[in-house]
Chain A
Amino acid sequence: MSPSDFAQKAVISGTSDALAPEDRTVALREEVVELARALPGDLRRLSVRSGDRAIEVEWAPALGEDSLAPARTGPARRPDTAAEEPVGPVPDVPEGLTAVRAPLVGTFYVAPTPGTDPFVQVGDEVETGQTLAIVEAMKLMNPIVADGPGVVTEVRVGDAESVEFDQILLLLRPTGRPR
């Protein structure tokens, strides 16, 4: 898992277990083509491994989505574009936004129970202490709450996806007094 780029990066691995090796390669190729067509933005980077069948795709953010945002690739893959950001393990958060990060390893849920309305959606205004999502770990539901008031600008993780420590879950545009 790479913490910073769930939105613009997809990883597929371990598919088509039951197939013969040649069929697997064919299946893999088809999957790549299909995936590339379905991308919401321009293809930026594609890596395919056949040994244990892995595909990694990165794509450009769709126009208008947030064109001011810097490229959202992981720290290891970021091109050396001078000192636009402080060095360190800080994944990209667009200026003016704050990231809500996973405090623990677990499974991310947008709603209290499957099929119910999500806690928040993009555009929602939230208050301090309001539950934004939950991360389930060891059968315990851990509410993820807002540290301060803001507007949800992005939910970076899909429902029921795994998250690791410190991974960005949502982005908020803080309202009220700047911190």
Chain B
Amino acid sequence: MISRLLIANRGEIAVRIARACRELGIEVVAVYSTSDRNSAVVGLADEAVHIGSPAPRCSYLHVPNIVEAALLTGADGIHPGYGFLSEDPDFAEICASEGLTFVGPPPDVMQQMGNKATARRLMADAGLPLLPGVVEPVRTVDEGREIAGRIGYPVIIKATAGGGGRGMTVVTAAADFEDAFVTTRATARAVFRDPSVYLERYLPHARHVEVQILCDAHGNGVYLGERDCSLQRRHQKLLEEGPAGHLSPRQRADLGRLAVRGALSVGYTGAGTMEFLVDESGSAFFMEMNARIQVEHPVTELLTGVDLVREQILVAGGRRLQVRQEDIAPRGAAIECRINAEDPTRGFAPAPARLDVLHVPDGPWTRFDTGYRQGDEVSPHYDSLLGKLVVWAPDRDQAIRRMDRALAEMRVEGPGVHTTIALHRALLRHPDVNADRHDVQFLDRRLPELLARAEAVAEGPAPDLPATSHGSLQLVQTPAGVDRPDPPAVAQ
């Protein structure tokens, strides 16, 4: 078991991990770059080590300094958080060779799942439905055009090494294929140092549904419900919620079982997410796996009551899962809004600034995960996530109203500060979001309208939300046939 954990990350997730460690009685070693020297996690840690200058490659991506910091401070484990080194198999391997427990899957599994083409092949082998497309990288324009013609337009070209919503291009007609192919390969080479791309059918009105899983090193795995993350801007998630209310309890349970089966088939351990696209008929197709804790994990924590970071740390230490599938019953509805320091009216340009005022919302079932305190600077070197506002309520209507109330309480002020708060309030008021009939393109398609609504919300008294139904209280939707041993295919 881990007794002293080094957190190789910063910001809200570093604080989140430090808190889990405190509750577990695990000592905390923080590492920080020069610009984070007075950050919240440094104050929470038992020991903190300065590992480099602000640029990530000199600090949070600098493997030797991080590993050396762990060895010098007597840490026996490393938690990579998300981003930075969290999905770097080499880093996981180095940790292992230095005798440090890496909180995450084994390096070879991480390697396999990090390559989207390999992951698709392995998940197809495990019986997960895939969108029509190819598993192997596509090397030439001609080959690609031929495949695209066969699977049918629109298609999406994706970098095999891609992630974080980058390196993807949608092609609607054969005439545009060549340009898109060349550009995507160039982007992939520049961003991921690997030009290989693959092709699959593009679903125009799909929902993004992802299943949270947790596996131990003894072959046990459970799913902890799903999250709908369809509100994205250019593949960057902005608002996440659970459960996916547009699916029936039965469809959701089937998806969960598929996700666990896929993860266990490759020997996955720890917390992870299987991402699916769901079409209008409710058929789900495997997209990719995230082999780490995700930004939006609190949604699942509020729905299930399971502390995912705690479980992740315990499982990494070799403990068997203590929770059985039948013990996990997602209750009510949860929503997370990413409060980013960026200006939606200027193409979501990052707006690093000093936070002269940071008034965090509070109240019943309202949680704000952040690594910032009033007076802190938001550094231009890192992502623009200020914090995650998460609420829980017995049903989706109440969760929307609670979130809106919390967003209205929140104040972030300072020279040059812009946030996504008003945009979130506009989103929650939009009839399509309210009725849960939006899709993954909704935000990009409706951005001008949403920005106008956001401005109105920011300036005057916000227009009322639709009246709630005041219906009966149903905390748990009981899936039919949960106990059946064999998962039927969700699609095909």
A, B in one complex: yes
Is there contact, CB below 8 Å, between A105 and B68?
Answer: yes
A165: contacting residue among B46, B65, B67, CB under 8 A: B65
A3: contacting residue among B50, B59, B72, CB under 8 A: B50
Per-residue A-contact encoding for B66-77, CB less than 8 Å = 1, 0 else: 111100110000
- Within the complex, the shortest CB–CB distance from A16 to chain B, in Å, comes to 16
Per-residue B-contact encoding for A154-179, CB less than 8 Å = 1, 0 else: 00000000101111000000000000
Please indicate the chain A residues that have their CB under 8 angstroms from the CB of B48 in the complex. Answer: 1
A106 within 8 A of B: yes
B49: contacting residue among A1, A52, A76, CB under 8 A: A1
Closest to B49 in A: A164
Secondary structure call for the B interface: mixed
Known A-B contacts A76-B38, A166-B34; the reply to A1 vs B67 at CB < 8 A is: no
Is there contact, CB below 8 Å, between B47 and A104?
Answer: no
Give the CA-CA distance A164 to B42 in the complex, in Å.
Answer: 14
Please indicate the chain A residues that have their CB under 8 angstroms from the CB of B65 in the complex. Answer: 104-105, 137, 165
B405 within 8 A of A: no
- Within the complex, the shortest CB–CB distance from B88 to chain A, in Å, comes to 16
A89 within 8 A of B: yes
B37 within 8 A of A: yes
Give the CA-CA distance A107 to B65 in the complex, in Å.
Answer: 11
B51: contacting residue among A89, A105, A107, A138, CB under 8 A: A105
- Within the complex, the shortest CB–CB distance from A52 to chain B, in Å, comes to 7
Counting chain A residues whose Cβ lies within 8 A of the other chain, the interface size class is: 10 to 19
Give the CA-CA distance A83 to B335 in the complex, in Å.
Answer: 48
Known A-B contacts A1-B47, A166-B50; the reply to A104 vs B64 at CB < 8 A is: yes
Please indicate the chain A residues that have their CB under 8 angstroms from the CB of B59 in the complex. Answer: 165
B129 within 8 A of A: no
Give the one of A137, A164, A167 with max B CB within 10 A.
Answer: A164
Closest to B35 in A: A89
Closest to B38 in A: A76
- Within the complex, the shortest CB–CB distance from A158 to chain B, in Å, comes to 14
Closest to B42 in A: A76
Counting chain B residues whose Cβ lies within 8 A of the other chain, the interface size class is: 20 to 34
Known A-B contacts A76-B38, A105-B69; the reply to A164 vs B51 at CB < 8 A is: yes
Is there contact, CB below 8 Å, between B68 and A138?
Answer: yes
Is there contact, CB below 8 Å, between B49 and A89?
Answer: no
B52 within 8 A of A: yes
Please indicate the chain A residues that have their CB under 8 angstroms from the CB of B72 in the complex. Answer: 105-107, 162
Please indicate the chain A residues that have their CB under 8 angstroms from the CB of B67 in the complex. Answer: 138
- Within the complex, the shortest CB–CB distance from B123 to chain A, in Å, comes to 36
Please indicate the chain B residues that have their CB under 8 angstroms from the CB of A164 in the complex. Answer: 49-51, 69
Per-residue B-contact encoding for A128-145, CB less than 8 Å = 1, 0 else: 000000000110000000
- Within the complex, the shortest CB–CB distance from B24 to chain A, in Å, comes to 15
Please indicate the chain A residues that have their CB under 8 angstroms from the CB of B49 in the complex. Answer: 1, 105, 164-165
B46: contacting residue among A52, A76, A166, CB under 8 A: A52
Closest to A14 in B: B74
Closest to B73 in A: A162
Give the CA-CA distance A106 to B37 in the complex, in Å.
Answer: 18
Report A96-112 residues with CB < 8 Å from chain B CB: 104-107
- Within the complex, the shortest CB–CB distance from B421 to chain A, in Å, comes to 31
A137: contacting residue among B34, B47, B68, CB under 8 A: B68
Give the CA-CA distance A105 to B51 in the complex, in Å.
Answer: 6
Report A1-20 residues with CB < 8 Å from chain B CB: 1, 3
Give the CA-CA distance A52 to B3 in the complex, in Å.
Answer: 14
Give the CA-CA distance A138 to B49 in the complex, in Å.
Answer: 16
- Within the complex, the shortest CB–CB distance from A147 to chain B, in Å, comes to 17
Known A-B contacts A89-B34, A89-B37, A166-B34; the reply to A106 vs B68 at CB < 8 A is: yes
- Within the complex, the shortest CB–CB distance from A43 to chain B, in Å, comes to 24
Known A-B contacts A106-B68, A107-B72, A137-B64; the reply to A165 vs B38 at CB < 8 A is: no
- Within the complex, the shortest CB–CB distance from A10 to chain B, in Å, comes to 15
Give the CA-CA distance A107 to B49 in the complex, in Å.
Answer: 13
Known A-B contacts A76-B38, A89-B37, A107-B72; the reply to A165 vs B64 at CB < 8 A is: no
- Within the complex, the shortest CB–CB distance from A144 to chain B, in Å, comes to 15
Give the CA-CA distance A3 to B47 in the complex, in Å.
Answer: 12
Give the CA-CA distance A6 to B64 in the complex, in Å.
Answer: 23
Give the CA-CA distance A164 to B52 in the complex, in Å.
Answer: 8
B64: contacting residue among A52, A138, A167, CB under 8 A: A138
Please indicate the chain A residues that have their CB under 8 angstroms from the CB of B47 in the complex. Answer: 1
Give the CA-CA distance A102 to B135 in the complex, in Å.
Answer: 48
- Within the complex, the shortest CB–CB distance from B48 to chain A, in Å, comes to 7
Give the one of A3, A107, A138 with max B CB within 10 A.
Answer: A138
Give the one of B46, B64, B68 with max A CB within 10 A.
Answer: B68
Report B56-94 residues with CB < 8 Å from chain A CB: 59, 64-69, 72-73
- With A106-B68, A164-B69, A166-B53 known, 12 other A-B pairs at CB within 8 A are A1-B47, A1-B50, A52-B46, A104-B52, A105-B69, A105-B72, A106-B72, A138-B67, A138-B68, A164-B49, A165-B65, A166-B50
State the 7 A-B residue pairs at the shortest beta-carbon distance, nearest first: A162-B72, A164-B50, A105-B65, A105-B68, A137-B68, A165-B50, A138-B64
B interface vs A, CB < 8 Å? 27, 34, 37-38, 46-53, 59, 64-69, 72-73
7 residue pairs from A and B, CB less than 8 Å apart: A52-B27, A105-B51, A164-B50, A165-B51, A165-B53, A165-B65, A166-B53
A interface vs B, CB < 8 Å? 1, 3, 52, 76, 89, 104-107, 137-138, 162, 164-167
